[in-house]
Amino acid sequence: MNKKEIYKRIMKLVSSHSFLLIISIILSILSVLSALYMPVLTGRAIDACIDKGMVDFESIKHNLFLFVIALLINGLSTFFMSLINNKVTFKIVRDLRNKLFDKIHKLPVVYLDSRGRGDILSRIISDVERLSDGLLLGFSQLFTGVFTVIATLVFMAIINPWLALTVLILTPISLVVASFISRKTYKHFSRQASLQGGLTSFINETVSSQRLITAMDAKDIKSKAFKEKNEEFAKVNLKALFYSSTTNPSTRFVNGLVYTSVGVFGGLLGIKGVISVGTLVAFLSYATQYTKPFNEISGVITEFQNAIACAGRIFDFLEAKESIDLLTDESPVKDLTGDISINNLSFSYDKTKKLLYDISFHVNKGEHIAIVGPTGCGKTTFINLLMRFYEPDGGEILFDNEVSYSIKKSTLRKNIGFVLQDTWVKNATIAENIAFGKPGATREEIIDAAKKSHAHSFISKLEKGYDTVVNQEATNLSAGQKQLLCIARVMLALPPILILDEATSSIDTMTEQRITKAFEALMEGRTSFIVAHRLSTIKNADLILVMKDGNIIEQGTHEELLVKKGFYYSMLHQN
């Protein structure tokens, strides 16, 4: 997304708060006008006491009174302007983060799988925070700065056009400096934001796998890799900071040039009697006020380049293609029975290489299908296609004689129970974790599901039982206990189709035997897909699919496959 498109998207976000921004602009104008009126009053007060014995106290008193009024107007308008700007900025940030979080649930799994978790977190947290800082500076200083420059020129032109022209001639220098710095900083800030996402992702990966890193004595390797990434980030960050840090001294040099020019030229006019001392003092004050916004605007532009770079990453994420159902209306299919047909199914991540191809078989309602094969043969990929996490490149999947894309994804997934090797529990009570797939479940139903999954025993021993809160990383539960909770979750939902992908991999042999019996009761009358490396867990399946290199090379019952003495026979005897 180019800068022009990013600006348009930001303006669209800002335009939804146009009423508050109009009030902010009015307050900004009041703040500027009151600030610019004060030097006029100061000059008048000075001129009222310029000669010995000729002090006009009434004039001084009157000007001081007006000065205090202007000061109050300036203070109050600035305060309320800042309040409104903060409110608008935080509303935009709130809405943007809500959109980003909602977007996560709309994106296809393949998109999330192809991005680092840290990079996504960086976009939602760090990038939004930087955009917030840029917008706040823009609202707070850009409006005021622009109005100050325009109004100051008008005031100076009214007082003395020649002095105003002197200031105006020197103005382009600041604009050229700001433009040069802006172009340089955007490129580096854009690269900086990208590298920070990668760095966050790397740190997140390292923290989550710290036990494995320690066990494999890979700390030096990870430290070296981190230092390289951090060094690259530091270099880009240093370049961005270098160019942005040149803003202040560059604009201050221009400020000094303007102030000196006004002082020298104004002094000459004062000597000739063209202007009074009070007028010169007011003009010098205006020169300072005129050049000050260029400092602020240049700083805002530099910071805004960082914000624009981050906004580009945010909008890219929001523009990512969503996982969309072809259906626009409710699915005509509400409840599935479990009759499934796979016809010439094919899929690959890299379209130049085959992964799954020519997959065809039929499953009758209530049958148990085991899928076995070596690592990387496509078992989990097939399950992802069945769940419509990915869409097939060719062929079709039919549920109850309905093509999968004619069924809403939400409807499809409500009819499928899923237990993975990689467990997932949320930061909530154990009861809430079990009831995740059935929020309205009663405590009795939750306990009954836990008993069937053999989780009730360890839950009862916890201090708060079912009200025990699982912490953020679930470190207060073992891997086996987390898996038991996931199994209990499916036990509670009782969907017509089950997918068990290495569902008992983290459970000891004794518990596995009890779980297997529980699964047999759960699978009764339900279509079940069992993915397992332990061949002992799938001997009773109605149909065993043997996969190798992305294709089904053998299928049949356990006994039939043993008689063939093929690949399945070899796998069994290797185990």
In this structure, what CATH number is given to the domain that contains residue 48? 1.20.1560.10
Within-domain flag for 461 = yes
Lowest-pLDDT choice from 90-94, 146-150, 443-447: 146-150
Q: Are 20 and 88 in contact (CB under 8 A)?
A: yes
Range with the largest mean pLDDT of 2-16, 66-80, 224-238: 66-80
Within-domain flag for 94 = yes
Lowest-pLDDT choice from 63-77, 83-97, 246-260, 347-361: 246-260
Within-domain flag for 258 = yes
Instruction: Return the closest-CA partner of residue 91 out of 9, 21, 178.
Output: 21
Co-location of 307 and 222 in the same domain: yes
Instruction: Supply the mean pLDDT for the chain.
Output: 78
Co-location of 503 and 445 in the same domain: yes
Task: Let me know if 232 is exposed, middle or buried by CB neighbors in 10 A (0-12, 13-18, 19+).
Answer: middle
Within-domain flag for 324 = no
Co-location of 419 and 490 in the same domain: yes
Within-domain flag for 31 = yes
Q: Give dist(CA 117, CA 121) in Å, integer.
A: 6
Instruction: Return the closest-CA partner of residue 515 out of 432, 460, 558, 453.
Output: 453
Q: Give dist(CA 120, CA 118) in Å, integer.
A: 5
Co-location of 41 and 170 in the same domain: yes
Instruction: Express each pLDDT in 112-136 by its tens digit.
Output: 777 767 778 778 888 888 888 777 7
Which residue matches tokens 């006029």? 40
Q: Please report, for residues 436, 535, 554, 565, the alpha-carbon distance to residue 557 in angstroms, rounded to integers and kept in the order given.
A: 35, 12, 10, 13
Q: Give dist(CA 295, CA 255) in Å, integer.
A: 8
Co-location of 473 and 566 in the same domain: yes
CATH assignment of the domain containing 515: 3.40.50.300
Q: Please report, for residues 88, 89, 131, 176, 331, the alpha-carbon distance to residue 93 in angstroms, rounded to integers and kept in the order given.
A: 9, 6, 8, 32, 35
Q: Give dist(CA 35, CA 39) in Å, integer.
A: 8
Within-domain flag for 329 = no
Within-domain flag for 331 = no
Strand 551-556 with 497-501, pairing: unpaired
Instruction: Express each pLDDT in 166-210 by its tens digit.
Output: 777 776 676 676 667 666 666 777 777 777 777 777 777 777 676
Q: Give dist(CA 304, CA 134) in Å, integer.
A: 5
The residue range of the domain holding 410 is: 340-574
Instruction: Return the closest-CA partner of residue 492 out of 420, 391, 419.
Output: 419
The yes-or-no verdict on residue 277 having pLDDT over 90 is no
Q: What is the pLDDT at residue 495? A: 86
Co-location of 382 and 411 in the same domain: yes
The sheet with strand 543-548 has its strands ordered as 416-419, 497-501, 527-531, 368-372, 543-548, 551-556
Q: Give dist(CA 408, CA 334) in Å, integer.
A: 9
Co-location of 184 and 294 in the same domain: yes
pLDDT > 90: percent of the chain: 1
Distance from chain centroid for Cα 456: 38
Q: How many structural domains comprise the chain? A: 2
Which residue matches tokens 């001084």? 60
Instruction: Express each pLDDT in 15-50 by its tens digit.
Output: 888 888 888 888 888 888 888 788 778 777 777 776
Residue where a domain stops, chosen among 290, 319, 348: 319
Instruction: Express each pLDDT in 323-351 by its tens digit.
Output: 655 554 555 667 888 899 989 888 887 77
For the record, the structure tokens of 382 come out as 């097939």
Q: Are 553 and 377 in contact (CB under 8 A)?
A: no
Task: Let me know if 60 is exposed, middle or buried by CB neighbors in 10 A (0-12, 13-18, 19+).
Answer: middle
Co-location of 293 and 363 in the same domain: no
Range with the largest mean pLDDT of 181-185, 212-216, 337-341, 437-441: 337-341
Within-domain flag for 60 = yes
Co-location of 382 and 520 in the same domain: yes
Those residues with Cβ within 8 angstroms of residue 149's Cβ, 6 or more apart along the chain or in another chain: 290, 293, 294
Co-location of 262 and 389 in the same domain: no
Co-location of 297 and 400 in the same domain: no
Phi first, then psi: what are they for 340, rounded to 5°?
-130, 135
Q: Give dist(CA 233, CA 237) in Å, integer.
A: 6
Query: Which residues on adjacent β-strands are paired with residue 326?
Result: none
Q: How much is the average pLDDT of 364-368?
A: 88
Co-location of 531 and 389 in the same domain: yes
Q: Give dist(CA 338, CA 365) in Å, integer.
A: 5
